[in-house]
Amino acid sequence: MWGENIEEIVETYMRQSDPDMRKSVMREIENIKADHPFDLDAAFENLFGGEPDPALWGYTTQSFLNEIARVLRQ
């Protein structure tokens, strides 16, 4: 997936995925945030191994996940 920013990347994903896949991503975002309210950074690192790195995009882990969820809800 390509894009200049997270919104463009998520929009590309949305064009290439079906509604069920998008709902699954939304559930995963909500689950990781709910399951790791105090160690979200570590949980994200464990799940994704530093790829992607929210800080490189100017986000915290929380704001990165929130941005992905926001675009998916559009």
The tens digit of pLDDT for each residue in 7-54 reads: 999 999 999 999 999 999 999 999 999 999 999 999 999 999 978 899
The residues, ordered by sequence, that sit 6+ positions from 52 with a Cβ below 8 Å of its Cβ are 64
What number of CA atoms fall less than 13 Å from residue 70's CA on the CB side?
A: 9
Residue 67 confidence (pLDDT): 97
How far is 30 from 12, CA to CA, in rounded Å?
21
The band of 2, judged by pLDDT with boundaries at 50, 70 and 90, is confident
Total-model pTM: 0.89
